[in-house]
């Protein structure tokens, strides 16, 4: 689970404090991939979700550190990671 700076959603939807990121399937000759993310409350209730597709450059730089994908998604959706548990 990835801890993020709290993001308050309008209309009493709640405050997200956690994020999860899943890399979706891609072929071995791919030059990019798509991710699925969820923003969750402290109690694990999903407030928001969506997809983010890495740029060709982000995919090329991914390398061996999967946590960099979390950073790409966080930056793309405008949240700040404060703590990441592996």
Residue range 32-76, pLDDT digits in tens: 999 999 999 999 999 999 999 999 999 999 988 889 999 999 999
Q: By residue range, what is the domain housing residue 22?
A: 2-84
Query: What is the CA angle 77-80-51, rounded to 5?
Result: 25
Q: Which residue has the higher pLDDT, 85 or 23?
A: 23
pLDDT of residue 84: 66
pLDDT of residue 86: 52
Query: What string of DSSP letters covers 1-44?
Result: -EEEEEEEETTTTEEEEEEEEEEPP--TT-S--EEEEEEE-TT-
**Total domain count for the chain?**
1
Checking if the pLDDT of 13 tops 80, the result is: yes
Confidence of residue 12 (pLDDT cuts 50, 70, 90): confident
Confidence of residue 6 (pLDDT cuts 50, 70, 90): very high
């Amino acid at each position: 689970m990835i801890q993020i700076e709290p993001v308050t959603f309008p209309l009493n939807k709640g405050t997200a404090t956690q994020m999860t990121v899943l890399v979706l399937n891609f072929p071995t000759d791919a030059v990019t991939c798509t991710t699925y993310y969820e923003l969750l409350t402290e109690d694990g209730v999903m407030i928001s979700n969506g997809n983010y597709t890495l740029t060709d450059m982000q995919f090329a730089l991914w390398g061996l550190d999967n946590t960099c994908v979390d950073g790409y998604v966080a930056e793309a959706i405008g949240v700040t990671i404060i703590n990441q548990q592996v």
